[in-house]
């Protein structure tokens, strides 16, 4: 499932990247476009090759990361607030509305970013660029 | 309209699901504050929010662009305060988030900034699993009240010292970030009262850890961002700063 998710994420990132770069590549000349298509196909096949490689290593321990573990790029509020709250006998508990499940939080964050970005962009245009 | 509300209500109801893992997130998370402090922080925060609503109603009549400005800065505070920025500091690779209340306090006024922060924190607690509903009052106190008022007064003091606009914004952003985390440290430090610990020692220890780790670096970043935003507003539309009383006369060039 993780591998599928990984492949899906790679696909989405490559897809969006291709959307961004396609026009500029086409503008560069006729030769670059077929090369770009070949590159995209190659990139899409790479995760499949890696996935096959990983299935052979069955004896390797599966490492999963939970929210409780401290790792690289852990939020300061996690490592400091959570740590001291536990030390003083008031450990954090689940939020009443828990969106931190699977990719739901990613969805909510993306939606919040899009909506926030739209509001900022719309109002900035209204305030700074439209004539009164 | 009612159909949209129903659809949203159904989505929100579906989000009412709990998992077995405790969620440690930004600000003070659900369950950390005991009931007496939950009530106390709500009681402290609510008058500021009420005055903020009154100020918005009054100022929108005086300045036509005030409501779009509130919308922009509200969205900016929301995005800033849930935006984990990777910083390499004494604790290694970690992420931390700015607050944005210094910037909103300068451009909207401290009371409206508290209101904006309260709305941002409420949305984060409801949908982003960040902060908490019971700890909302505490988070409004630290990020909203302390962050906004400290940033606002830092800006005014810097103006009195005749610093350039960029440095006034820089100090406001930096000080508001520092005071926000001081507020969080105070709220956590209060937990030791009645357990034989020293409040001042605990607060100082937590605040020291905050500053020695990524937040110490990030408050400088926030200061720079606020400074640049003020310079942008001044260059693009100095009339806004004049209306808000941040500069005296827009015909006289301000040192940036």
Q: What is the CA radius of gyration of chain A?
A: 22
Distance in Å, alpha carbon of B80 to nearest chain A alpha carbon? 10
- The arithmetic mean of pLDDT across residues A43-58, rounded, is 53
Average pLDDT over residues A61-90: 69
Pair of tokens at residue B10: 């159904």
pTM for the structure as a whole: 0.74
Residue A64 has pLDDT above 50, yes or no: no
CB atoms A100 and B125 under 8 Å: no
Q: What is the pLDDT of residues A110-121, one digit of tens each?
A: 888 899 889 989
Residues of A in contact with B33 (CB under 8 A): 90
- Kindly determine whether residue B191 and residue A89, on different chains, have CB atoms separated by under 8 Å: yes
Query: What share of chain A in percent tops pLDDT 70?
Result: 45
For residue A123, the distance in angstroms to the closest alpha carbon of chain B comes to: 5
- Chain A partners of B82 at a C-beta cutoff of 8 Å? 109, 112
**pLDDT tens track for B206-243:** 898 888 877 888 889 999 999 999 999 988 888 888 88
**A&B contacts, CB < 8 Å:** 188
Distance of CA A46 to the CA centre of its chain: 19
Predicted pLDDT at B252: 56
pLDDT: which is higher, B52 or A64 = B52
- Contacts of residue A83, defined as CB under 8 A and 6 or more positions apart, other chains included, come to none
Helix (H) or strand (E) holding B93: strand B92-96
Give how far B57 is from chain A: nearest CA, Å: 19
Supply the pLDDT for residue B52: 95
Would an 8 Å CB–CB cutoff place A124 in contact with chain B? yes
pLDDT of residue B83: 82
Give the residue extent of every domain in chain B: 30-243
Gap between the Cα atoms of B32 and B206, Å rounded: 15
Flag if B94 and A68 touch (Cβ within 8 Å): no
The CATH architecture one would assign to domain B30-243 is Orthogonal Bundle (1.10)
Other CB atoms within a 10 A radius of the CB of residue A53 amount to 9
Let me know how long chain A is: 132
Where chain B has pLDDT below 50, the residues are 1-2, 4-5, 7-26
B32 and A81 in contact by Cβ < 8 A?
A: yes
pLDDT of residue A77: 73
CB atoms within 10 A of CB A108: 19
Q: Which candidate from B69, B195, B213 shows the least CB-CB separation from A80?
A: B213
The pLDDT assigned to B241 comes to 87
d(CA B78, CA B59): 22
The number of residues making up chain B comes to: 256
Using CB atoms within 10 A of its CB, is residue B16 exposed (0-12), middle (13-18) or buried (19+)? exposed
């Amino acid at each position: 499932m993780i591998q599928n998710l990984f492949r899906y994420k790679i696909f989405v990132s490559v897809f969006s990247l291709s959307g961004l770069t396609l026009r500029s590549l086409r503008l560069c000349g006729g030769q670059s476009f077929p090369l770009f298509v070949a590159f995209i196909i190659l990139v899409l096949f790479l995760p499949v090759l890696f996935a096959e490689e990983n299935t052979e290593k069955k004896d390797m321990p599966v490492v999963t990361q939970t929210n409780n573990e401290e790792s690289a790029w852990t939020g300061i509020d996690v490592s400091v607030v959570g740590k001291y709250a536990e030390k003083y006998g008031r450990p954090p508990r689940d939020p009443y509305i828990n969106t931190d499940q699977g990719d739901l939080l990613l969805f909510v964050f993306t939606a919040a970013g899009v909506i926030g970005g739209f509001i900022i962009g719309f109002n900035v245009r209204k305030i700074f660029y439209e004539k009164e | 309209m009612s159909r949209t509300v129903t659809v949203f209500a159904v989505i929100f109801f579906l989000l009412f699901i709990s998992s077995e893992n405790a969620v440690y997130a930004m600000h003070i998370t659900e369950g950390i504050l005991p009931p007496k402090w939950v009530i106390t922080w709500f009681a402290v925060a609510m008058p500021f929010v009420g005055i903020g609503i009154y100020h918005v109603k009054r100022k929108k009549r005086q300045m036509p662009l005030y409501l779009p400005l509130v919308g922009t800065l509200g969205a900016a505070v929301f995005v800033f305060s849930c935006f984990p920025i990777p910083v390499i500091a004494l604790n290694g690779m970690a992420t931390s988030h700015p607050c944005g209340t210094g910037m909103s306090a300068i451009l909207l006024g401290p009371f409206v900034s508290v209101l904006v922060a309260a709305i941002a924190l409420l949305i984060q607690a409801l949908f982003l699993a960040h902060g908490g509903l019971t700890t909302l009052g505490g988070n409004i106190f630290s990020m909203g009240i302390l962050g906004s008022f400290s940033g606002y007064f830092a800006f005014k003091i810097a103006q009195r010292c005749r610093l350039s606009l960029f440095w006034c914004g820089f100090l406001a952003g930096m000080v508001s970030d520092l005071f926000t985390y001081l507020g969080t440290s105070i709220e956590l430090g209060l937990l030791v009262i009645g357990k034989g610990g020293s409040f001042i020692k605990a607060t100082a220890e937590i605040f020291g850890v905050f500053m020695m780790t990524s937040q110490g670096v990030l408050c400088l970043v926030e200061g720079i961002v606020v400074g640049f935003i003020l310079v942008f507003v001044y260059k693009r539309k100095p009339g806004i700063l004049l209306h808000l009383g941040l500069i005296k006369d827009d015909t006289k060039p301000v040192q940036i």
